[in-house]
A and B are shown apart, each in its own frame.
Chain A
């Protein structure tokens, strides 16, 4: 009979750790390259959905900004961008209840986003809520 009492040969097991730091540094390089560390500038624009906008419509006459091609109007008066900003700030919208803070933006013709962005930022800065009225649709969004 074979002897089971014979001692098994003990082999030393080692995990190769030499390249671990290389792999880890490669992963770090990947994360550095794939990560965005951009800081953004902009503003919050409050735009009510169609249902809320229609409820607001019932209250009273709201201030309106008209963008017609290159022309800009505030309450049917032609203005430039600094005048629009000043006019909207003069309305003191933050002190009013939510329903009376709506500024209707009416657009027709070709309007680039640059102009629209400036109008949106002016309304947002004055504490207004934007209501969009498009001539083609003729209905509030």
Chain B
């Protein structure tokens, strides 16, 4: 008996809207993303039992393990330059978190380095948000 030949249908994956989906994803990432500014700063977090989750603020000051001071990921020569820089950045921002300064400091840095930096932030009128880690109970 002669069997009727099965018709082979071409299989196509619809890719017409692929570009649209991809661009929607790009827009999502562009709106939601916050670029890593301080990937060059090497620091070990200080620990304490009383820390809690905090919102990330836009202005960031960091001190690395060698005692170098960074504002928004850029190295600064001294705390005086920091005070002017923080004040200028605060003026550019508005809203309730405009004065919040994220402060990251390596746990081994001495007070002769970090105290003038804390003083400079206070003089500029900023509120310090000290970043650390919750102490694990042993």
Residues of A in contact with B (beta carbons under 8 Å apart): 17, 20-21, 24-25, 27-28, 31-32, 34-36, 38-50, 67, 85, 107, 110-114, 116-118, 120-122, 124-125, 132, 134, 141
Contacts and interface: CB of A to CB of B under 8 A. Distances in A.
B128 A40 contact: no
Interface in B63-119: 63, 100, 102, 105-111, 114-115, 118-119
B59 to A, nearest CB: 14
A24 B19 contact: yes
B39 to A, nearest CB: 9
Contacts of B121: 47
Contacts of B25: 24, 28
Contact of A113 (B26, B32, B105, B125): B105
Given A49-B122, A110-B111, A28 B51 contact: no
The 8 closest A-B pairs by CB, nearest first: A24-B22, A31-B29, A117-B46, A35-B33, A121-B48, A125-B50, A114-B107, A21-B18
A111 B132 contact: no
Nearest to A119: B48
A36 B23 CA distance: 20
Interface residues of B, number: 50
6 contacts: A42-B51, A42-B131, A46-B127, A47-B122, A114-B108, A124-B50
A41 B114 contact: no
A121 B115 contact: no
B130 A107 contact: no
Given A24-B22, A120-B130, A35 B35 contact: yes
Contacts of B119: 132, 141
B40 interface: no
A42 B54 contact: yes
A91 to B, nearest CB: 15
A141 B123 CA distance: 8
Given A41-B52, A42-B132, 13 more contacts: A20-B22, A24-B23, A25-B22, A35-B32, A36-B35, A41-B133, A43-B52, A50-B122, A50-B123, A110-B110, A113-B106, A113-B108, A113-B114
Contacts, number: 150
Nearest to A45: B128
Counting chain A CB atoms within 10 Å of each CB, the highest count among B30, B32, B110, B111 belongs to B111
Contacts of B138: none
B136 interface: no
B19 A113 contact: no
A41 B36 contact: no
B36 A132 contact: no
A21 B24 CA distance: 11
